[in-house]
Amino acid sequence: MNKNEILNLLESNTPDVLIQADKIRKQYVGDEIHLRGLIEFSNICARTCQYCGLRYENKNIIRYRLSADEIIQLAQIGKKSGLQTIVLQSGEDNYFSTDKLCHIIQEIKKLDVALTLSIGEKSYQEYKAYKEAGADRYLLRIETTDKNLYKKLHPNMSFENRMECLYNLKDLGYETGTGCLVGLPGQTLDSLAEDILFFKKLDADMIGIGPFIPHPDTPLGGANVDLTANLDLSIRVMAVTRILLKDINIPATTAMETINPNGRILALNSGANVVMPNITDDIHKKEYEIYPDKNNENLDSLISKIKSIGRFVAFTKGFRKKI
Ligand code: SAH
C-alpha cells in the first residue's frame, strides 16, 4: 500500500476497512487474545509533553512511586491471576537507576512471565542492561511522525532521539512496540498515513494507537476536540495498521474504552488482538492520570467481554509469530 491508498482508507466512511482488518487478524493471529498486566509504578516525570497529565509542570497531581517490593508483589498477583506478560510503565522517573530497574526485572522474570518495559527514552547502554537482565519487550510510542507537530508537543525533546531509541531497541533484539496518538490539535490525515508507513518501515512488533483525550491540567486542556471522532479515527488507523502489518500484536487501548464503554470491543472486532488489564493497586491507578477518567475495567469483566464476542484468552506468552 502506498500513501495515497492509505489516505483513501483513512478518509472512507464505510466499515469495509474495519471488516477487512478483522479478517486479516483472524487469518494471521487467530481468535486468541493476549492479556498484558499493566503496572503503573511511578507517575513522577521529568518531561513536559503538552498533552500528558503526568508532565513535570502539572502541580495538581498527587505523585507516587512504588517501591521495588511493591512492584514485584503486584507482578506476583498478576501471575497468580493467570497473566503471562507483565508491563512496567512509568513517567520518566530518574529515581529508578539502571541497577534498581535490573533488580526488579530479574525478580519479575523469576515468575516465568514475559516482561515489557514502557519507561521512555534511555541510552543504548541502559536498554542493553535491561535486556541482559531479562526484559523481552519495550513500548515507546513515536506519538506522531510529523516533526513540526512533535516539536510543538514535546518541549526540550528531540524527535531524532526518539527515533534512535526505537532503532536501538530493535537492534538489541527487543520485541519493539510503538504507536501514535490520534486527533491531536494540528494533526493531519496525511501525517497519520506517514505514521502507519513508519510502523511498517520500523517493522514494529506491536502497535498501540490511542485517541487523544485532553487533560484539563495541561496546555492542551482546552483543546476543542470531538472525542467520538477521535475514537472512530483511531480505530480506523488501527485497522489500516493491521491490514499492512498482518502478524503483529495490536492492543485495544484503554483510551478507546475511556471514550466509549464499547471501545475495546469495537477495536477487538477491527484488528486488535491484545488487551492490557491494569493491575496497579486501586489507589495508585487513579493517580496515574495521563488523561481524565481513565477506564479501569477489572480482569474478570474483561475476560467475560472477550468471551461474549466469541474470542478466548491465549494460553501462551504471546510473542509475535512472524510470518
Ligand atoms: N513515559 C513513557 C510512558 C508514557 S504514558 C513513555 O514516554 O513512553 C503512555 C502513553 O500515554 C503515551 O505514549 C501517550 O501516547 C499516551 N498519552 C499521554 N497523554 C495522553 C492523552 N492526553 N490522551 C491520550 N493518550 C495519552
pLDDT (tens digit, 0 to 9) for every residue of the chain, 323 residues total? Answer: 999 999 999 999 899 999 999 999 999 999 999 999 999 999 999 999 999 999 999 999 999 999 999 999 999 999 999 999 999 999 999 999 999 999 999 999 999 999 999 999 999 999 999 999 999 999 999 999 999 999 999 999 999 999 999 999 999 999 999 999 999 999 999 999 999 999 999 999 999 999 999 999 999 999 999 999 999 999 999 999 999 999 999 999 999 999 999 999 999 999 999 999 999 999 999 999 999 999 888 999 999 999 999 999 999 999 999 98
Q: Which three cell numbers stand for residue 137?
A: 519487550
Q: Whose CA is nearest to atom 25 of ligand 1?
A: 212
Centre of ligand 1 from the C-alpha of residue 210, in Å: 9
DSSP 15: T
Centre of ligand 1 from the C-alpha of residue 27, in Å: 31
DSSP3 helix / strand / coil % (the chain, rounded to 5): 45, 15, 45
- Whether residue 254 has its Cβ less than 6 Å from ligand 1: no
- Whether residue 255 has its Cβ less than 6 Å from ligand 1: yes
Centre of ligand 1 from the C-alpha of residue 142, in Å: 10
Q: Cell 502539572 sits at which residue?
A: 58
Q: What is the pTM of this model?
A: 0.98
Centre of ligand 1 from the C-alpha of residue 89, in Å: 10
What domains lie within the chain, and their CATH numbers? 3-314 (3.20.20.70)
* Residue 302 φ then ψ, to 5°: -60, -45
